[in-house]
Amino acid sequence: MRTFGQSWFKQGSLIGEFADHLGIAMVQHKQGIALNAAKVDAELASKAKSDFIANMSHELRTPLNAIIGFSDMLASQTVTSPEKVMQYSGYIKQAAEHLLALINGILDVSKIQAGKLSVEREPVEMKPILASCLLIVEAKAREKGIAVECAVAPDLPKLSADPLRVKQILINLLSNAVKFTPDGGRIRIECTLLQEGYAAISVTDTGVGMNPAEVETAMRPFGQVDTTFNKRHEGTGLGLPIAYALARLHSGDLRIESQKGAGTRVTVILPTVDATELEPDTPIH
């Protein structure tokens, strides 16, 4: 005759067995979710790699073809007038500089991802750096009839930053603003004191703008927001990711406010010379 103890023991064994099966099922379910997530990540990485190769193929071939074509014309002496020689030499120089910028961008991204890129900080005046950056982009802005406004707060302290990298950030942001702003648009650059120890440098344009999903894409290395639109413009999708990474290397930040069809505002936050007096890990508002 089966006793109560035997019945309870058998019931306990069944509950334990059920619990074991449930635990195994939960582990297998979690593993399945993890595998699916890894598969999605791998597919996205593969697509990003394919898109990058396709995009870079175009971006590298265009200046290389220009260099080879104009060099052949000069070497074969089919162009003899001094004016044409000077003009074609200028085209070669522009194509070579564009190619160098592409390669430097790729190398910078590789260094950033490998944790090998560093910044050499020193007291930096914003006005001369901003003036030199504007010189680089003003020709293209003038060609498109884009009005560029600039305002630097009179009480803005010096930055504690790497001047070369600050210039790189600004050129990336200004180049994007000019590229994606239609003819007759406006760009405004403002440098203000954000809070104690931090300055804000913002670039606002009246360009095509982006929705939240496009902003996320633009912040990924080699991300192209609008492939059709970008085919009419040179670029690899490295400007914003590099600018963001450089800002973070300075213990700063980069923030984007954008609306589709209404323009974009990109704000870079960098420490000032008095930032060393702040408590460690002071939040940026």
For residues 97 and 128, membership in a common domain is answered with: no
| 74 within some domain | yes
Residue 110 shares a structural domain with residue 147 = no
Which pLDDT tens digit goes with each residue over 128-148? 999 988 888 888 889 899 999
| CATH code of residue 44 | 1.10.287.130
Whether 285 shows a pLDDT value over 80: the answer reads: no
pLDDT of 141-174, one tens digit each?
898 999 999 999 998 999 999 999 999 999 999 9
- The verdict on 174 and 95 lying in the same domain is no
Lowest mean pLDDT segment, chosen from 91-100, 169-178, 191-200, 213-222: 213-222
Q: Which of 117, 138, 156 is the last residue of a domain?
A: 117
What global pTM score does this model have? 0.69
Return the CATH number at 216.
3.30.565.10
The reply to whether 103 and 221 lie within a common domain is: no
Q: Are residues 234 and 192 in the same domain?
A: yes
Does the structure show a pLDDT above 60 at 71? yes
At 113, list the tokens: 């991802």
Point out the domain boundary residue: 117, 147, 181. Answer: 117
162, with CB counted inside 10 A (0-12, 13-18, 19+), is buried
Q: What is the pLDDT of residue 39?
A: 74
Are 128 and 99 in the same domain? no
d(CA 204, CA 262): 11
56 and 145 in a single domain? The answer is no
pLDDT of residue 275: 63
Q: Are residues 163 and 64 in the same domain?
A: no
- Tell me, yes or no, whether 285 lies in a domain: no
Each residue's pLDDT tens digit, 267-276: 999 999 876 5
Instruction: Give which of 264, 87, 273 is closest to 193, Cα–Cα.
Output: 273
Are 261 and 144 part of one and the same domain? yes
Q: Give pLDDT, residue 256.
A: 92
- Which residue range is the domain that position 242 belongs to? 122-277
Residue 284 in any domain: the answer is no
Per-residue pLDDT band for 241 (boundaries 50, 70, 90) equals confident
Number of domains in the chain: 2
Q: Please indicate, yes or no, if residue 100 is contained in any of the structural domains.
A: yes
Question: Rounded distance, CA 149 to CA 200, Å?
Answer: 16
Same domain flag for 126 and 230:
yes
Which candidate, 255, 257, 253, 269, places its Cα nearest to that of 207? 257
Q: Is residue 229 part of a domain?
A: yes
Q: Which residues of 258-276 are buried (b: 16+ CB within 10 A; e: fewer)?
A: beeeebbbbbbbbbbbebe
89 belongs to a structural domain: yes
Please indicate, yes or no, if residue 151 is contained in any of the structural domains.
Answer: yes
| pLDDT (0 to 100) of residue 45 | 60
Using a pLDDT cut of 70, give the percent of the chain over it: 75
**Domain match, 189 and 85 both:** no
End residue of a domain, out of 117, 140, 155: 117
**For residues 8-12, average pLDDT:** 52
At position 204, the amino acid (one-letter code) is T
Residue 282 lies in a domain: no
Cα(124)–Cα(130) distance, integer angstroms:
11
What's the pLDDT tens digit per position in 247-267? 999 999 999 999 888 899 999
Q: Are residues 249 and 131 in the same domain?
A: yes
